[in-house]
Structure 1
Amino acid sequence: IVSKYLAEHGIIIEKTGLYSFFIMFTIGITKGRWNSMVTELQQFKDDYDQNLPMWRVMPEFAAKNPRYEKVGLRDLCQRIHNMYRKYDVAKVTTEMYLSQIDTAMTPADAWAKMAHREIERVSIDDIEGRVTAMLVTPYPPGIPLMVPGERFNKTIINYLKFTRAFNSEFPGFETELMVPGERFNKTIINYLKFTRAFNSEFPGFETDVHGLVRETIDGEVKYFIDVVKE
């Protein structure tokens, strides 16, 4: 939310995390320029303390996502924080990079499977143990999570499910995810499920995962990943 707030006030954030962001200063930047950033951060704090409605503090964003127009800034921040706690995302996003990954084939072999169309699109609810045919990279942090030929584990799947839920709940704040031959373990699957839940709950704040495919079927948004055929 802070990153989007600053962007609407002319300050672009280089990278964002769950509760942090990174700002890059160029050589020779003046005190006056970086002081503008401090001023905007203080303004955000004031708007947060007053719980001003989104249409006042972020009018451009509210115009694109009218469901937030009358929501207070502090209330929205709290809702997103509550969802992070519900899915224990801080722990999941650490564990999914530390979780044991089973490599089923080389990235080159997985790429060959995709080139020969020996892949299939599977729901994130059914990908545990399956071999990814795509590169999976969540944003933030923008670090590849899986390469083709690895299997999905439960931790990663849980994160994907969180992403699904978050992007649905907070549109406009999406989490991105880029997804080639690793198997999906439970850790990764849990992350994917979080993504699904978050995106559903907060449209406009979606978590993006490149490689995670969103399709609307019978009016319902579903999440899929391309995996190697078994």
Structure 2
Amino acid sequence: ALVEESINEALNFRRAMRKVEDEWGEGWWFQVWGPEVLAEEGIGERDAWMLEANAEWHGFGNLAPGFNMLDPIKATVITPGLNVSGKFAETGIPASIVTRYLVEHGVIVEKTGLYSFFIMFTIGITKGRWNTLVSALQQFKDDYDKNQPMWRILPEFCQQFPQYEGIGLKDLSQQIHDTYKANDVARVTTEMYLSAMDPAMKPSDAFAMMAHREIDRVEIDSLEGRATSVLLTPYPPGIPLLIPGERFNKTIVEYLKFARMFNERFPGFDTDIHGLVEETVDGKRRYYVDCVWQKPSNEALTG
């Protein structure tokens, strides 16, 4: 019964979001990723949540029939700016800005992607709680459409990062969106996971070298070809990219260079990468990864 209540609340949230779009979402509104047709009431049928091959809403292509199903209690809210095929729109609202706004308005989000954030309807989530989220999203839309200054809508954030005080919410959203679009970050983040991985040694051997401090702290520009001694996990999507003992390739290094550039340009909206070490050198942030110790080459010894 408790699980059924959670599913029911998740469905009610999805219906409420669609109702807001119909009645109030002029111009744009947030979408909840899921089937196009929802049951009018109750939890509906199990088959409605099966991922059918080549359905446009999920974008996963030719899936095996009856093999994948979306859990209705896991709700991914989509922000404008990027479609399921990875194509950027002219304007957009990166999810990091939305979730930063929600945090300052008392709503904590589970996980944040480029143009999506994730919430889970666990046991105990009631209408009162998810209605707070819907209300906060409505307020965000109103502030965005009016291009309210950041100091007014995110005062605590602007105390920490005063460089944003005079920027409008809509203007800042567009600046980050344009940066994502110019660097085609959706393609890069996909390709780095599809790129060829080159294991230099067993993970246990790499971990043992780290435990014995047989490591080099290597800056991003020098990482290509080096074997990591740590697990490297970018957020989003929160999936390990390299495990200890695997080598950095060009595609992964390019992504890390983008993350470095983005963090320098938009502090407070940093790309979070577990395994990437940040140090401040001469007042400037520099980024490193702990790699397996590499013996100096003969040329280096004789040079």
Deviation at 1:28, TM superposition (A): 4.9
Which of 241, 255, 259 matches 1:195? 259
183, 205, 219: which one pairs with 2:269?
A: 205
Structure 1 match to 2:221 = 125
More strand by share: 1
Task: State how far apart, in whole Å, the 2-side matches of 1:138 and 1:7 are.
Answer: 21
Partner residue in 1 for 2:234: 138
The answer for unaligned runs of 5 or more in structure 2 is: 1-96, 295-303
The equivalent residue for 1:29 is 125
Alignment of 1:14-93 (within 5 A): 14-93=110-189
CA distance in 2 between counterparts of 1:12 and 1:22 reads 10
Q: Which runs of 4+ in 1 moved over 2 A?
A: 26-33
Give the CA deviation at 1:49: 0.5
TM-score, normalized by length of structure 1? Answer: 0.83
Q: TM-score, normalised by structure 2?
A: 0.63
Partner of residue 107, structure 1: 203
> What's the secondary structure of 1:221's corresponding residue?
strand
Structure with the greater alpha carbon radius of gyration: 2
CA RMSD, Structure 1 to Structure 2 (Å): 1.2
Deviation string 1:186-219 (CA, Å, 9 cap, x unpaired) is 1111111111000000011111212111122222
Relative contact order: is structure 1 or structure 2 higher (C-alpha 8 Å, sep ≥ 6)? 1
Which stretch shows the higher mean deviation, 128-137 or 111-120?
Answer: 111-120
**22-31 or 80-89, larger mean C-alpha shift:** 22-31
Counterpart secondary structure, 2:248: strand
Gaps of 5+ in 1: 151-182
CA displacement 1:30-71 (0-9 Å, x = unmatched): 333322211111110110010000111111111111111111
Query: Identity of paired residues, percent?
Result: 68
| Number of equivalent positions | 198
Cα–Cα, structure 1 residues 32 and 216, in superposed 2: closer, same or farther, change >3 Å?
closer
**Quick one: distance in 2 between partners of 1:44 and 1:81?**
17
